[in-house]
A and B are shown apart, each in its own frame.
Chain A
């Protein structure tokens, strides 16, 4: 899916086709993994087999969906696709937070909608400015990356805030008892949760190109784009992801923090509600 961003404009007739037979040959590499599992009795063979089939089916289905969305060329269809991606990511963001899903989902979902949505709108309307604002070749892959990163940021921020609020109950109540607002009482947990969510984004900026060659850039180069254009796109993507993660994580901690307090500014005994 990311490779579809590889701009047909730079399309290169020498791009190699991958046939179904070629896919089968690539599958031999999964057989190697299954062989290792069998040799060391890891019990992962079944997982690899099912995983390989699932990955193939999921990606092929997504491929056909994208072909349809691209061909239909309707703005609402593109937005619908974005909404489905957002919903799936929001659902996944609540997994390991350590608080009930009904509490976390409205917070992370809203934060991702606003954070990822604003970032995509900015990149689309201000940075890239495609001829058609809803061009799915740009919006869908870009949103995929934005939402994926926003999801990780949201989950990290929420998970860390839950644990910090729990482990610092004494400190928070000491502040409240001195007449502090809940925001002031929870300032340290808030800072720590935001830091935890943002450090991966800082690290990603630091090592990109040195340790990691991002998938999108690799895809573009494989698809025949000039490496220099691919690099410029990748820089846009990195900056975009940084903004999306920061905005989403900030919205998560602000929205989620309130759930730990009652209307009378008391720390809820049973955690967020």
Chain B
């Protein structure tokens, strides 16, 4: 939940008094034209950035009140361009485990664990020993997703995870993401420019423009009968 959030970057106001609630256990799409502040909002949720003013709440508590590393392990982030760490696919997944804080239940990051994690993102466990340099964009994004899941986060944030992928590859990744969320009751918040993706794969949609909330609600309701003229015009382009 965000209250009165203002974010300024290099003198430009990218979030301008934003109030929005992101419902738990749902798959939420953040949509809106470029420059709406979608990515800026997402980065506030696990404190990759802090707002200039206003409060970001996680489970009713300001995010600044959590130890930042603990927060980031509970709120995972998948970036638009997947960044692979040097080494194999398994190395990448184990890196996430190696970063566990002292208060976390230990995970035996053995071969079975790696295989299970890969299967959960619909990658063949035979990928485990492969060097990440030789993976395709879609495969890298699945490894990045598995790596984010390795910390067993309660919330998963995705910044245009399919932006660099072919439509077909993107669609398969989206169904994986939705299934991962449904299996675990995890909250997912996703920035997307592909409106069909928002319509077909999410349960809640937040429409933003110029750093402000335009409208938010259940995805189907919003796509079928948006109350706001701007939302109707924007969603009609889907």
Contact = CB atoms under 8 A, between A and B. Distances in A.
Interface of B: 9-10, 46-50, 64, 68-70, 72-73, 76-77, 79, 81, 83, 85-86, 95-96, 99-101, 144, 147-148, 151
B83 to A, nearest CB: 4
A179 B151 contact: yes
A235 B101 CA distance: 47
Contact of A266 (B49, B85, B96): B49
B50 A178 contact: no
A178 to B, nearest CB: 5
A179 B70 contact: yes
B177 to A, nearest CB: 17
Interface stretch (A39-47, A123-131, A167-175): A167-175
B100 A264 contact: no
B81 A264 contact: no
B79 A264 contact: no
Contact of A176 (B10, B48, B64): B48
Interface in A227-273: 262, 264-267, 269-270
Contacts of B81: 170
Contact of A180 (B64, B70, B86, B99): B99
11 contacts: A173-B83, A174-B83, A177-B72, A178-B95, A179-B100, A180-B69, A262-B50, A264-B64, A264-B68, A266-B49, A266-B50
Interface of A: 170-171, 173-181, 184, 188, 262, 264-267, 269-270
Given A177-B48, A264-B47, A170 B10 contact: no
Contact of A178 (B47, B64, B86, B96): B96
Given A178-B96, A181-B69, A171 B85 contact: yes
A267 B50 CA distance: 11
Contact of A179 (B49, B72, B85): B72
Most buried by B among A181, A262, A264, A267: A264
A184 B9 CA distance: 26
A267 B47 CA distance: 10
B10 A173 contact: no
Contact of B48 (A171, A181, A188, A266): A266
A171 B101 CA distance: 20
Contacts of B47: 264-266
B68 A265 contact: yes
A178 B70 CA distance: 9
Contact of B69 (A179, A269, A270): A179
Contacts of B151: 178-179
Given A265-B69, A269-B10, A177 B50 contact: no
A113 B167 CA distance: 58
Given A170-B83, A269-B10, A178 B147 contact: yes
* Highest count of chain A CB atoms <10 Å: which of B49, B83, B101, B148: B83
B99 A177 contact: no
A184 B86 CA distance: 14
Contacts of B49: 266, 269
Nearest to A265: B68
A13 B101 CA distance: 71
Given A177-B72, A178-B95, A269 B9 contact: yes
Contacts of A269: 9-10, 49
Contacts of A270: 10
B79 A173 contact: yes
A171 B147 CA distance: 13
A176 B72 contact: yes
A266 B9 CA distance: 14
- For the complex of A and B, list the 3 residue pairs with the smallest distance between their C-beta atoms, beginning with the closest: A177-B77, A179-B73, A174-B83
B100 A171 contact: no
Contact of A170 (B72, B73, B79, B101): B79
Contacts of B48: 173, 176-177, 266-267
